[in-house]
Amino acid sequence: MPDASPRPKPFTAPASSAALEDLRARLRATRWPDAPEDAGWGLGTDLGYLRELVEYWADGFDWQAQESALARFPRFRVPVGGLGIHYVHARAVAPTGSTVLPLVLSHGWPDSFWRYSKVLPLLTDPGAHGADPADAFDVVVPDMPGYGYSDRPTGPPLDSIAVAGLWAELMGLLGYARFGAAGGDIGSHVSRYLALDHPDRVVAVHRTDAGVPVFTGDPTDLAPEERAWFESVAAWGASEGAYAAMHRTKPQTAAFGLTDSPAGLAAWIVEKMWAWSACGGVVERAFTKDEILTNVTLYWLTGTIGSSMRMYGANGAIAPAQLGRRVEVPSGFSLFPGDIVRPPRAWLERTANVARVTEPERGGHFAAFEEPELYAEELRAFFRPYRAPSLG
């Protein structure tokens, strides 16, 4: 019988001149709020910085150049679970006879496949970047449903468990019986469920965080450093978690303004790029204006800010029993110094079969983009023992 599997189709998405002109017109017509004198970033996005960024977005930023740079990656769309999924599928450049490990990378919010655009060449062709050619990966980077160029669910939003199931199906469609998984932010959650629900296929899982902690046992069973971490996470949520509460509870309200105003969209996203990166209070120490605006423009052109936020509510409804499951697949963690809610080793050991924990010297929440060389080396070192001839 003929193979009925869906066929991936090469994907490009050039923006129309009308869409770009509409964007520029909206930027030039921005109605600005006031701000207290010397507020800086203390109340949210800095007014002076955003004015500067919006001016550049309207009259200096070259989206077509950024679009061409992203188009150098082999990008595809394929139906998975009833949704069109956009993904990058970059093949390894490896010595003859070496074992290539397939790797699926999962992004978080507020980004898309963009998160891994700097690190992809370092993972697929390490030999060209001063590393061991035998450490090459076949890399798959999907946009989650409701993000980037993947379809938006028309019904209830999908949670991380459901997305993990889609990624397992996608990797099968691409011919990978076994593979590694890695991610951060929501992508850490998805990678965790890939390991939990598909342990026969995931050889190892690497994460840059352990998510927001949930513990339903006796608090006295927690180690002192775990209790201290829980307290720090609660304090972080009280001072920094308003965005997540909005995403979980009333994302549609925020979506009206953020979908209509590119300046508002930039404010919502850039504040997190500032707060969560290791930029030392100066966002452009971590990202150039072109890099920031490439991420934000992807959201603008795809109209996905609302659908991306809705995933928070779906994840917030995951049952505690699911959140409490322990990952038995070999697990590695790279805890970058500028990231948020960094877990102690005791919590990692409680929740996963820990094979490796490192604390790289630089980088924050967007480590794959902020420090691609360090992140690539973390993945190469962690997955090296899990390469085997049967993985392709």
Q: Which region holds residue 334: left if phi is over 0, alpha if psi is between -120 and 50, else beta?
A: beta
- 86 labelled catalytic: no
Strands 83-90 and 75-80: antiparallel
| Cα distance between residue 114 and residue 194, in whole Å | 21
Q: Which of 313, 346, 140 is nearest to 228 (CA)?
A: 346
Among 116, 193, 312, 386, the one annotated catalytic = 312
Q: Going by C-beta distance under 8 Å and a sequence separation of 6 or more, which residues neighbour residue 39?
A: 46, 47
Judge contact between 293 and 56, C-beta under 8 A: yes
Across-strand partners of 356? 332
CA dihedral 383→98→90→161, nearest 10 degrees, is -40
Task: Report DSSP state, residue 154.
Answer: S
SS3 content of the chain, % helix, strand, coil (to 5): 50, 15, 35
Length of the chain as a residue count: 392
- 312 labelled catalytic: yes
Among 89, 198, 247, 365, the one annotated catalytic = 365
Among 125, 185, 209, 339, the one annotated catalytic = 185
Q: Which of 243, 305, 234, 250 is nearest to 274 (CA)?
A: 243
- 116 labelled catalytic: no
**Could you give the residue numbers annotated as active site?**
185, 312, 365
